[in-house]
Amino acid sequence: MAVQSNKGYPVLIIGAGRGGSALLEMFIEDNLVNVIGIADTSPDAPGMQLAKRLGIPTYTDAAVALQAGKDHPDCIVYNLSHDDSIADKANLIFGDKRVASGLEVKLFWQMVTNLKQVKSELEKSQSQLQAIIHNAMDGIITIDETGAILGFNPAAEHIFGYAQQEILGRNVNILMPEPARSAHDGFILNYIRTGEAKVMGVSGREVAAVRKNGEQFPMEVSISEMVLGELKYFVGIVRDITERKLAEQKIAHLAHYDYLTDLPNRALFLSTLEHSIRLARRNNYKISVLFLDLDGFKQVNDTLGHDAGDLLLREVSKRLRHIIRESDTVARVGGDEFTFVLNNTESNEGVALVADKIVAALSEPFDLKDRQCHIGGSIGISIFPDDAGDLGQLVSQADEAMYLSKQSGKNTHRFYSDVLLKQSGQ
């Protein structure tokens, strides 16, 4: 490949070994220098081979090279050979102070070598950094003091749905929902003016973000400041945490809801009952606790199998949900046992009516695996504050009343007051 001639300062290199080759490599990258030739007694010297590939004249005799350069009276000769007579020969053609040789050239060669090494290491570091940014799993966004996006790696493209070429130069607030979008530029300006940060330096801050299609999603962001010269830049490391949030919600749901029926479990039921008691005490009204145990469930489970038993429990749960009000609660607390909280119950007659509806709903046949089955339900009832003011006592009393209901022939209900009457012999 022939090198193009330029109007740079003419230079002649004598000696094409490691030093001459390194000097040639440096000069050909600089438009201020025009290498007019290189000479070495060995045509296979590395500098000679490089010059030939670039179309630069080569000479095996230094005297011939100097004569060829006399058409350039302002030429500078770099003598990297061990021939001290070169300086005298060059001075005859070009005059004094035109030849750099000896220790001067050795020092210059060392400087060139060091510069090339530093440049190589810098380019390697930059390549490594760009590879890290390009292949990072997290989005990396760089903005300037005005909020304009200067860097947007492939992970950020994937997260937000924007191609790099369409997002660079736009304000980063395009990635935010309101009201953060309108307030963002003010936050940057205030930080630059006062140093007061809202998200700067906070690792893993959770915020809302917006994709190109308008979809909002939860995002984790860490922002740091970078100063180059007198200019400030801000680098954000962002991560889409949608899947993590969904997993957290699922775990939280499983901790409070029955896996089979999706009804509240015992823990959530007790928490709900405790809250209901506080409200009832504050507002001076009654609440009722119902304890339901299915009659005939074990026979279905043993006869048709556990899959049919699970299906039956899900179908029972659906019927129970339709009977109670939205302000009330039904929970599965284990096996074939269900509990209820009926808020603001005005009379025992009204509670009894709900209990009768539950028994009636359960008496309707269930279709399981193309087979029809029948079950029933026994219900015990306790009243706050008539029977007790304590959460544990209310549940225990409803349980006792449920056993009295079973003893009374099943498929019916009994109040805790009925238990007390029986115990007193009335």
Confidence at 133, pLDDT banded by 50, 70, 90: low
Tell me what percent of the residues of the chain surpass a pLDDT of 90. Answer: 51
Q: Which candidate, 72, 91, 85, places its Cα nearest to that of 34?
A: 72
Stronger pLDDT, 87 or 151, i.e. the higher one: 151
Sequence ranges of the domains in the chain:
9-125, 136-244, 257-423
Each residue's pLDDT tens digit, 180-232: 888 887 877 877 777 666 666 667 789 999 999 999 999 999 888 888 777 88
Average pLDDT over residues 323-344: 94
Is the pLDDT confidence value at 272 over 90? yes
In Å, how far are 329, 332, 402 from 323, measured between CA atoms? Answer: 11, 15, 19
In Å, how far are 55, 91, 136, 240, 343 from 158, measured between CA atoms? Answer: 47, 66, 12, 10, 50
Tallying the residues shown for the chain, one arrives at: 426
**Architecture of the domain delimited by 9-125:** 3-Layer(aba) Sandwich (3.40)
Amino acid 4: pLDDT: 46
Each residue's pLDDT tens digit, 383-392: 999 999 899 9
Intrachain domains 136-244 and 257-423 with the same fold:
no
Which of the given ranges, 112-121, 145-154, 351-360, 367-376, has the highest pLDDT on average? Answer: 351-360
Q: 85 is written with which tokens? A: 């007579």
Q: What gap in Å lies between CA 221 and CA 204, rounded to an integer?
A: 5
Q: Please, what is the angle between helix 297-304 and helix 306-323, to 10°?
A: 140
Q: Given 3.40.50.720, 3.50.50.100, 3.40.50.300, 3.30.70.270, which CATH number is that of 257-423?
A: 3.30.70.270
**Architecture of the domain delimited by 136-244:** 2-Layer Sandwich (3.30)
Measured between its terminal Cα atoms, the distance across the chain in Å is 117
> Residue type for 78, please?
Y
Distance of CA 125 to the CA centre of its chain: 26
Stronger pLDDT, 6 or 276, i.e. the higher one: 276
Is the pLDDT confidence value at 410 over 50? yes
Pairing of strands 287-295, 216-228: unpaired
